[in-house]
Amino acid sequence: MQRVSADARVRVSLTLNGRQVSGWAEARTLLCDFLRHELGETGTHVGCEHGVCGACTVRIDGVPARSCLALAVQADGRRIDTIEGLGGSDGALGPLQAAFRKHHALQCGFCTPGLLMSLSALFDGPTVPTEDQIRDTVGGHLCRCTGYAGIMAAAREVAEDLRKSGEKS
């Protein structure tokens, strides 16, 4: 059984975007703050801090989740994927990122990392996402700039490209 006293800092090790990393956290440290302040990965944004806005969404063991509602100590030993891992190692944009740029799916960009992590999980699924699935996923995020039209257009285009490529049905 793991025990962490209120004043202690413990070592948390996890696989971040395929790399083994570790840092120190208090029991009360949220995963989003651990990523940003301890590991220096500031791509994950922190908005409402109570799970509503979706800006802090990352993938925990592949599944999208709010990093403001997970404790860093809970992520110990887990695989965490953040926006920093979404592009190529040469800095090239991934397909979702490129479509976001093309369709002006962002303006201030605050919600973008969360949206992209949720959508990347959806698009990694076994089938090409349907309009309803895309809507359901985007519905878990607040964007106050775009009115969502560009976000939906970008996701639809990536879905259409996937379908045409014949990789998935």
Partner 1 sequence: MKPRKFGYCRPDTLDEALALLAEHGDQACVLAGGQSLVPMLNLRLVDSALVIDISRIAALASIRETDDHLEIGAATTQARLLAHPGLERAVPLLARALPFVGHVQTRSRGTVCGSLAHADPSAELPLCLATLGGSVVLRSTRGERVLAAADFQTGALTTARAPDELVVAARFPTARAGQGIAFAEVARRHGDFAIVALAAVADQGALRLGVGGVADRPTVRAWTGLASADLPDVLNDLAWDLGGRDDLHATAHFRRDLVRRLGRTVLEEAASCSA
Task: Return residues touching partner 1 (CB under 8 A).
Answer: 1-7, 26-28, 30, 33, 49-51, 54, 57, 60, 63-66, 68-71, 73-74, 118, 122, 136-137, 139-141
Nearer to partner 1, 45 or 66 (CB): 66
The one-character DSSP state at 141 is: S
The β-bridge relationship of strands 79-81 and 10-16 is: parallel
Write out the two tokens for 120.
């990347």
DSSP readout, 67-98? TTSSBGGGGTT-EEE-GGGTS-TTSPPPHHHH
Distance between CA atoms of 20 and 164, rounded to whole angstroms? 36
- Shortest Cβ distance from residue 2 to partner 1 (Å)? 4
Q: How many CA within 13 A on the CB side of residue 14?
A: 26
Reported residue count of the chain is: 169
Residue with tokens 């208090």: 26
3-state secondary structure of 129: coil
Nearer to partner 1, 29 or 97 (CB): 29
Nearer to partner 1, 19 or 50 (CB): 50
Write out the two tokens for 148.
């969502």
Nearer to partner 1, 6 or 92 (CB): 6
Nearer to partner 1, 9 or 104 (CB): 9
